[in-house]
C-alpha cells in the first residue's frame, strides 16, 4: 500500500507514519506534505496514492480546498482535532475520520476498513506467466566454457549445431565451422540445461539445435531421420518413443503430424 500524509504538524506527521508502519510494515509512505499548496502540486504531478491521510486544518487553509483544485480518486482518511467536520468529510468519500491524538487501534480499524472496501485487484495471470517464462528462459545455458589443452574457449549455445556422445565422451559441434569440442557434461545433464524451445534430444546419442537440422526424411515405424548440418556419419534417427514429441517440438504446438 502506498500512502500520502498531509499534515502541517511535523511531530504529528512523524507519529502517524510510525503508527502506520507498525500496523502495516509493508506500507510505503510516499511523502509527508504540510499545506494545501504542496498537496495540490504533488497530486497534480504524481500518480494517485492508494490511500491519503488528510489533516483538515492546514497552515494555508482547509484540506477541503484541495478537492476544489484536484480530482482525487483515492480514498481518504481525515485526521483532525475537531469533530465538526465529520459530515463534510464523508461527503468527499472519506473512509474514516480519526480524532487526534490518533490511537493505534482506531488507525488499525481504518486500515482494515480500507482493505474491506478496496480489496487487492485480481492478479494479472498473463503478466505472471510472461514473467515466469522469462525467468525460466534465463536459467538455461547461454554459453559454455570448453577447455582445450592449456586454453579455454567460450562457445555461445546459438553456435552449437548439436551435441552427441561417442565412446562415453560428449562433443559439441560448431554450426559454422563444423569443429567438434569435448564438453564436461553428459547428455542427460545437458538435456536439462539447454533451452527446450531450441534443443531437442532425438535419441540416446544426440541433442540437436533446431537450426542445425538441414532436412528430414521419413523412416520406418513413423520415425524421422534427421539430416544435420554439419554432417555426421552417426545415426540420427529420432527414437520411436520421442517421435511424437519431436514433431510437436518442430512446429511449436500440439500438432501430431508434420
| φ/ψ of residue 168, rounded to 5 | 65, 20
Count the neighbouring beta carbons within 10 Å of the beta carbon of residue 176: 8
Domains defined along the chain, listed by start: 2-117 (3.40.50.2300), 141-251 (2.40.50.1020)
Residue 132: DSSP 8-state: H
Q: What is the pLDDT of residue 257?
A: 43
Residue 238, pLDDT score: 96
Per-residue pLDDT at 179: 93
Closest to 187 in 3D by CA, of 239, 255, 248: 239
- Summarised one tens digit per residue, pLDDT across range 133-188 is 555 555 788 899 888 878 888 999 999 999 999 999 999 999 999 999 999 899 99
CA R_g for the chain? 33
Beta bridge partners of 180: 173
**Mean pLDDT of all residues in the chain?**
87
pTM score over 0.85: no
The confidence score (pLDDT) of residue 62 equals 87
pLDDT band at 232 (very low <50, low <70, confident <90, very high): very high
Task: Say what the pLDDT of residue 137 is.
Answer: 52
Of 48 and 124, which is predicted with more confidence?
48
Amino acid at each position: 500500500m502506498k500512502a500520502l500524509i498531509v499534515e502541517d504538524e511535523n511531530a504529528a506527521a512523524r507519529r502517524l507514519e510510525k503508527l502506520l508502519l507498525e500496523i502495516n510494515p509493508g506500507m510505503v509512505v510516499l511523502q509527508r506534505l504540510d499545506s494545501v499548496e504542496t498537496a495540490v502540486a504533488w497530486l497534480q504531478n504524481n500518480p494517485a496514492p492508494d490511500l491519503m491521510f488528510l489533516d483538515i486544518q492546514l497552515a494555508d487553509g482547509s484540506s477541503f480546498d484541495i478537492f476544489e483544485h484536484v480530482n482525487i480518486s483515492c480514498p481518504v482518511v481525515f485526521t483532525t482535532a475537531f469533530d465538526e467536520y465529520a459530515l463534510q468529510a464523508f461527503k468527499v468519500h472519506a473512509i474514516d475520520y480519526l480524532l487526534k491524538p490518533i490511537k493505534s487501534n482506531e488507525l488499525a480499524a481504518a486500515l482494515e476498513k480500507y482493505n474491506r472496501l478496496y480489496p487487492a485487484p485480481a492478479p494479472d495471470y498473463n503478466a505472471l506467466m510472461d514473467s515466469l517464462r522469462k525467468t525460466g528462459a534465463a536459467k538455461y545455458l547461454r554459453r559454455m566454457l570448453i577447455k582445450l589443452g592449456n586454453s579455454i574457449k567460450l562457445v555461445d549455445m546459438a553456435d552449437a549445431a548439436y551435441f552427441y556422445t561417442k565412446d562415453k565422451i560428449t562433443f559439441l559441434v560448431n554450426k559454422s565451422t563444423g569443429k567438434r569440442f569435448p564438453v564436461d557434461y553428459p547428455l542427460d545433464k545437458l538435456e536439462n540445461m539447454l533451452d527446450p524451445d531450441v534443443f531437442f534430444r532425438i535419441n540416446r546419442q544426440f541433442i540437436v539445435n533446431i537450426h542445425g537440422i538441414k532436412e528430414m526424411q521419413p523412416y520406418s515405424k513413423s520415425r524421422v531421420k534427421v539430416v544435420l548440418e554439419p554432417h555426421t556419419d552417426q545415426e540420427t534417427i529420432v527414437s520411436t518413443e520421442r517421435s511424437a514429441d519431436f514433431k510437436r517440438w518442430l512446429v511449436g504446438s500440439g500438432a501430431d503430424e508434420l
